[in-house]
């Protein structure tokens, strides 16, 4: 009995170690130079999402171009939104690229790269809905991803503690809630909403752009406060932004030509 | 820890309290409905007739053998949304927890009844009691007493597991803790407060169960 127990214990330890070891080998590649670790929340297509075992999306391509420009080694880890916010703030990660809007509150906790993407929050409603503007959402059931700017905007409109505002772990779950008639509307970044509509042409949805209540937002790469990496990457971000590469990846993931008028002046 | 922000707890306290009521309500409904359903499943599982026994065994296997988180998603997006025509997180939470608890309580009933010595039922039969008389007057009164600690355990587990329904945005305690955490990008304040409330709930329940056990 005792022997059998020890055997099982050793076997399970061995399996765990083997699993860890396998991962280590992959990372060993660039051991000589520092490998910068970026965090992302890969549940935000088309900006970043999982494709089988790989993280793909606009942000991932953009980061690749920036790091190539800067000549630095890096890797991206998918760790989810809340752990990302905390992990970057306390320096566990060297940076985060995750469709993160630059806001004044967030600037208190992070340093940001120059803005690299323009986005607006958009409302998605079933066809024929009476909702026409963001203010119509008051008193309706609305799903958002918790902790996003959509959450902040809607909390301002609906008030703290209103349970009609349902905060989900991801936009995917929020959109699923709308598809199952659990809510009257979803508020999310325009890229996310458009991507969802494009992928689900059979469902009858209408998108609403309300620039009066939802101002344009700008995504930035977030860094822990006062770290050298920001200075290394800022010029690279600017270079990639002005290049044709940016246009190409924008068309690839977003499907239209980028409007660079405001972005290049920032 | 030095900059522990009590103002966050203060701001979210009414929501935590409301969330706690939801946690209690969801868990309580879950355990009550689950115990009733579990009773039917437990007795079916004890039946000598295979066509009663096999489906019940399948049910128990399924709900004990798959993660509760998965069951919550299936119930929320698959079952409840198809029946109601829309999703309802609180209904889905209660249904999922009740279905899950039913599988566990069914096993508690079975174990409790089977733990009573065979001599007892033989004695009852020799006195000419029917099967149901024997259950009602001899077996169950003894068995229920033995089931209480196991039921208490199950209830405590259910209170803790009810935190999983935050993923479908049921506005219970964990949901608000997560909301506070993502709003302020803080860990300690909301989660420690939630932990303390859960602990208070399970601790008082534990005390109540010890009292009940002594009373029986």
| Interface confidence (ipTM) of the complex | 0.77
Give chain A's domains with CATH numbers: 34-118+218-255 (3.40.190.10), 121-208 (3.40.190.10)
Residue B49 included in any domain: yes
Mean pLDDT value of segment A212-232: 94
Residue B69 included in any domain: yes
Does any CB of chain A come closer than 8 Å to the CB of residue B5?
A: no
pLDDT tens-digit profile of B141-194?
A: 999 889 989 999 999 999 999 999 999 999 999 999 988 887 777 888 999 999
Residue B177 included in any domain: yes
**How far is B173 from B170, CA to CA, in rounded Å?**
9
Q: For testing the chain B interface, which of A180, A222, A225 should be mutated: the one with the most B CBs within 10 Å?
A: A180
Interface touch B77/A180, C-beta < 8 Å = yes
pLDDT tens-digit profile of A172-190?
A: 999 999 999 999 999 999 9
Residue B154 included in any domain: yes
Q: Residue B144, exposed/middle/buried by CB under 10 A (0-12, 13-18, 19+)?
A: middle
Predicted local distance difference test score (pLDDT) of residue A22: 61
Residue B163 included in any domain: yes
pLDDT tens-digit profile of B1-47?
A: 557 888 888 889 999 999 999 999 999 999 999 999 999 999 999 98
Does any CB of chain A come closer than 8 Å to the CB of residue B74?
A: no
Q: Counting every residue, how long is chain A?
A: 266
Work out the mean pLDDT of chain A and round it to a whole number: 90
Full residue range of the structural domain in which residue B118 is found: 6-215
Task: Taking the CA atoms of A51, A57, A61 and A66 in sequence, report the sign of the dihedral they define.
Answer: negative
Place A30 in a pLDDT band, splitting at 50, 70 and 90.
very low
Query: Domain tally for chain B?
Result: 1
Does any CB of chain A come closer than 8 Å to the CB of residue B69?
A: no
Q: Counting every residue, how long is chain B?
A: 216
Percent of chain A, pLDDT > 90? Answer: 68
Chain A residue with the nearest C-alpha to that of B77 = A180
For the cut 80, the answer to whether the pLDDT of residue A21 exceeds it is no
Q: Do A143 and B169 form a contact (C-beta atoms < 8 A)?
A: yes
Kindly provide the b/e burial profile for residues A101-133, where b requires at least 16 CB atoms within 10 angstroms of the residue's own CB: bbeeebeebbbbbbbbbbbbbbbbbbeebebee
Residue B1 included in any domain: no
For the cut 60, the answer to whether the pLDDT of residue A250 exceeds it is yes
Residues of A in contact with B88 (CB under 8 A): 182
Does any CB of chain A come closer than 8 Å to the CB of residue B156?
A: no
Residue B209 included in any domain: yes
A157/chain B closest Cα distance in angstroms: 15
Percent of chain B, pLDDT > 70? Answer: 99
User: Which residue among A109, A155, A166 places its CB closest to the CB of B169?
Assistant: A166
Mean pLDDT value of segment A27-40: 74
Number of other residues whose CB lies within 10 A of the CB of residue B19:
25
Pairing of strands A205-208, A121-126: antiparallel
pLDDT tens-digit profile of B101-126?
A: 999 999 999 999 999 999 998 999 99
Predicted local distance difference test score (pLDDT) of residue B1: 52
Among A85-89, A125-129, A216-220, A247-251, name the one with the lowest average pLDDT: A85-89
**Can the peptide bond before residue B52 be classed as cis, meaning omega within 30 degrees of 0?**
no
Pairing of strands A142-145, A185-189: parallel
The domain that contains B67 carries what CATH number?
A: 1.10.3720.10
Residue B81 included in any domain: yes
């Amino acid at each position: 009995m005792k022997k059998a127990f020890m055997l099982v214990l050793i076997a399970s330890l061995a399996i765990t170690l083997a699993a860890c070891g396998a991962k280590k080998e992959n990372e060993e590649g660039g051991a000589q130079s520092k490998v910068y670790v970026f965090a992302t929340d890969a549940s935000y297509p088309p900006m970043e999402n999982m494709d089988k075992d790989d993280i793909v999306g606009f942000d991932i391509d953009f980061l690749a171009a920036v790091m190539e420009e800067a000549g630095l080694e890096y890797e991206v880890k998918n760790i989810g939104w809340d752990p990302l916010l905390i992990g970057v703030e306390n320096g566990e990660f060297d940076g985060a690229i995750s469709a993160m809007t630059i806001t004044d509150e967030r600037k208190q906790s992070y340093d940001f790269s120059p803005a690299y993407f323009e986005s607006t929050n958009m409302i998605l409603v079933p066809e024929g809905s009476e909702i026409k503007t963001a203010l119509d959402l008051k008193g309706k059931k609305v799903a958002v991803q918790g902790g996003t700017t959509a959450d902040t905007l809607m909390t301002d409109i609906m008030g703290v503690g209103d349970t009609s505002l349902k905060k989900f772990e991801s936009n995917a779950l929020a959109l699923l809630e709308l598809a199952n008639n659990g809510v009257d509307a979803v508020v999310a970044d325009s890229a996310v909403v458009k991507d969802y509509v494009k992928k689900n042409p059979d469902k009858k949805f209408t998108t609403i752009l309300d620039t009066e209540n939802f101002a344009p937002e700008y995504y930035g790469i977030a860094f822990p406060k006062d770290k050298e990496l920001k200075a290394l990457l800022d010029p690279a971000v600017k270079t990639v932004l002005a290049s044709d590469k940016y246009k190409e990846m924008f068309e690839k993931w977003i499907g239209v030509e980028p409007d660079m008028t405001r972005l290049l002046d920032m | 820890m030095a900059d522990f922000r009590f103002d966050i707890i203060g701001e979210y306290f009414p929501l935590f309290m409301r969330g706690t009521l939801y946690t209690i309500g969801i868990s309580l409904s879950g355990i009550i409905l689950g115990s009733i359903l579990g009773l039917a499943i437990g007795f079916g599982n004890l039946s000598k007739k295979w066509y009663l026994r096999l489906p019940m065994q399948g049910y128990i296997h399924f709900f004990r053998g798959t993660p509760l988180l998965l069951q919550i998603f299936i119930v929320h997006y698959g079952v409840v949304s198809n029946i109601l025509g829309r999703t309802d997180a609180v209904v889905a939470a209660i249904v999922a927890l009740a279905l899950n608890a039913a599988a566990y309580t069914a096993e508690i009933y079975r174990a409790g009844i089977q733990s009573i010595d065979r001599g007892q039922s033989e004695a009852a039969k020799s006195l000419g009691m029917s099967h149901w008389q024997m259950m009602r007057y001899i077996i169950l009164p003894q068995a229920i007493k033995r089931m209480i600690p196991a039921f208490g355990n199950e209830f405590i587990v259910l209170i803790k597991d009810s935190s999983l329904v935050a993923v479908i945005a049921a506005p219970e305690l964990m949901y608000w803790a997560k909301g506070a955490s993502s709003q302020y990008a803080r860990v300690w304040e909301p989660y420690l407060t939630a932990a303390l409330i859960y602990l208070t709930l399970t601790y008082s329940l534990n005390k109540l169960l010890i009292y009940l056990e002594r009373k029986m």
